[in-house]
Amino acid sequence: MAFKAVIISRRSSGFGARWMSTWWGNVEPAPKDPILGVTEAFLADPSPDKVNVGVGAYRDDNGKPVVLECVREAERRIAGHLNMEYLPMGGSVKMVEETLKLAYGENSEFIQDKRIAAVQSLSGTGACRLFADFQKRFRPDSQIYIPVPTWANHHNIWRDAQVPQRTFHYYHPESRGLDFAGLMDDIKNAPNGSFFLLHACAHNPTGVDPSEEQWREISYQFKAKGHFAFFDMAYQGFASGDPERDAKSIRIFLEDGHLIGIAQSYAKNMGLYGQRVGCLSVLCEDEKQAVAVKSQLQQLGRPMYSNPPVQGAFIVSTVLGDPELKTLWLKEVKVMADRIIGMRTTLRENLEKLGSPLSWEHVTNQIGMFCYSGLTPEQVDRLTNEFHIYLTRNGRISMAGVTTGNVGYLANAIHEVSKSA
Ligand SMILES: Cc1ncc(COP(=O)(O)O)c(C=O)c1O
């Protein structure tokens, strides 16, 4: 009765309208995403010289976005044959099957023994988020160890899944390479049975990957400590140009008998950025466990997005399910990786020719889409304000945005802001 009385008095006094207008009065604007904010600033800049080396998306040598020929052909084959029905909660079975082969190996015993719980995810981000939610639900007291630095969104993902975060050493600023000793110490010092997030290849943002030998040591130490490795593999094929070679870290862990999790994405290596197609997989002890885990992953997805999108999944399964199209894809991945590797060499050569007093060896030592340049936030600000060159303030250069046409301009600008450092 009392409640009713309040409602009536609010109505009669006109209080309702004022009350309603304060629904979102407590909402402050969210901070800009450090990566997406760069693109916004780039688009708003009218300068004809402007260069965007901020965003992690591949560009051809004319700076244009690329749709792979294998994807175009898959689209032609699908056109008119694809109905728009919902996919199952776990997504396209065919796409997931082909995706697992890329990560675990064409003839993987784990695939044959049905020991992998796998679902189609909303690209790599969605795979990470689904895993983080799964971790929270079934290992509620666990934490996640995240490398320093990492792709900024990893922090958001595990934060929103309410999994406490710890960090581990990864990058060594002085050598601009791997802090292997620091990394191994942190693995040893973490409580037994900890969860670690590892970048399978082409580490973002540093471009620094452990060598094969180092991966073996990491795997050995993980085994000794009983840690769980969750691999984020957003760039398979982008590091070396060969997806098989880029899966080496994962294969080492599999050989050593780890039960791992993997997030896969077709954003970069098939250029399907906006299609949001990827896969989350968890290797289990046996088929029964895999069935249970998969059912729970689906259960987690159901109230968030119900089932994943269909178009990208069909493109992937068409490309990878056809030997001819798969060969074409492998060729096209290599072309993209090789262009990036070539631009690393050209950028370094240009800086050396300009007489830079600094070492730029790391530009060619690092691998994948990004070069962690070592430029300070203030130097990055100068690049942007004086030269209209856009990148994140941590000095990460997306090599995919570097072209024959802008590499000289970029090198000159980097030299200008760094020569007196
Ligand atoms: C390390 C890493 N993981 C995951 C992703 C997720 O990408 P997407 O959700 O577009 O597949 C990215 C994208 O930049 C990334 O760099």
pLDDT tens track for 57-103 = 999 999 999 999 999 999 999 998 888 999 999 999 999 999 999 99
What is the model's pLDDT at position 3? 45
Catalytic one of 179, 186, 209, 232 = 232
Same domain for 377 and 400: yes
Same domain for 299 and 194: yes
Q: What is the mean pLDDT of residues 19-28?
A: 83
The two three-digit tokens of residue 191, written as one number: 């409580």
189 inside domain: yes
Same domain for 352 and 219: no
190 inside domain: yes
Same domain for 181 and 300: yes
Q: Which atom of ligand 1 is nearest to the CA of 265?
A: 11
Q: Which atom of ligand 1 is nearest to the CA of 266?
A: 11
Helix (H, G, I), strand (E, B) or coil at 311: helix
Q: Please say if the pLDDT value at position 304 is more than 70.
A: yes
- Which residue from 122, 232, 275 has its CB within 8 A of the most atoms of ligand 1, so it is best to mutate? 232
Catalytic one of 133, 151, 329, 360 = 151
One-letter amino acid of 408: G
Q: Please say if the pLDDT value at position 4 is more than 50.
A: no
Q: Please say if the pLDDT value at position 1 is more than 80.
A: no
User: Could you give the number of structural domains in the chain?
Assistant: 2
Q: How confident is the model at residue 45 (pLDDT cuts 50, 70, 90)?
A: very high
The two three-digit tokens of residue 54, written as one number: 């901020």
Q: How confident is the model at residue 291 (pLDDT cuts 50, 70, 90)?
A: very high
Q: What are phi and psi of 236, to 5 degrees?
A: -65, 120
Tell me the CA–centroid distance for residue 129 and ligand 1, in Å: 11
Same domain for 313 and 377: no
Which of 287, 321, 355 is the C-terminal boundary of a domain?
Answer: 321
The two three-digit tokens of residue 61, written as one number: 């040598």
CB 104 within 8 A of CB 116: yes
Place of tokens 């068409």: 318
Strand segments (E) across 321-404: 370-372, 389-390, 396-398
268 labelled catalytic: yes
What is the model's pLDDT at position 321? 97
289 inside domain: yes
Q: Please say if the pLDDT value at position 29 is more than 90.
A: yes
Same domain for 156 and 48: no
Q: What are phi and psi of 281, to 5 degrees?
A: -130, 150
Q: What angle do CA 263, 269, 275 make, to 5 degrees?
A: 75
Tell me the CA–centroid distance for residue 232 and ligand 1, in Å: 8
Same domain for 270 and 187: yes
CATH of the domain at 373: 3.90.1150.10
- Which residue from 33, 99, 170, 265 has its CB within 8 A of the most atoms of ligand 1, so it is best to mutate? 265
CB 347 within 8 A of CB 358: no
Which of 280, 297, 321 is the C-terminal boundary of a domain?
Answer: 321
79 inside domain: no
Helix (H, G, I), strand (E, B) or coil at 223: helix
One-letter amino acid of 268: K
77 inside domain: no
| Continuous H helices in 147-282 | 152-160, 180-189, 212-225, 243-246, 248-255
CATH of the domain at 273: 3.40.640.10
132: domain range?
A: 87-321
Burial of 140 (0-12, 13-18, 19+ CB in 10 A): exposed
Q: Please say if the pLDDT value at position 7 is more than 70.
A: no
Same domain for 278 and 365: no
Cα–Cα dist 16/14, whole Å: 5
What is the model's pLDDT at position 15? 55
392 inside domain: yes
Same domain for 226 and 104: yes
Kindly list the protein residues whose Cβ atom lies closer than 6 A to any atom of ligand 1: 56, 123-125, 151, 199, 204, 232, 234, 265, 267, 273, 278
| Cis status, amide bond into 29, omega within 30 of 0 | no
With CA atoms as reference, report the closest residue to 227 among 200, 191, 263, 255.
Answer: 191
What is the model's pLDDT at position 81? 81
Cα–Cα dist 396/172, whole Å: 15
Q: Across all residues in the chain, what is the average pLDDT?
A: 93
Q: Which atom of ligand 1 is nearest to the CA of 150?
A: 1
Same domain for 104 and 52: no
232 labelled catalytic: yes
Number of other residues whose CB lies within 10 A of the CB of residue 40: 12
Ligand 1, atom 12, lies closest to the CA of 234
- Which residue from 204, 208, 235 has its CB within 8 A of the most atoms of ligand 1, so it is best to mutate? 204
Same domain for 201 and 94: yes
Which of 252, 286, 321 is the C-terminal boundary of a domain?
Answer: 321
Same domain for 137 and 171: yes
Which range (5-14, 21-30, 100-109, 281-290) has the least confidence?
Answer: 5-14
Q: Please say if the pLDDT value at position 9 is more than 60.
A: no
Q: How confident is the model at residue 31 (pLDDT cuts 50, 70, 90)?
A: confident
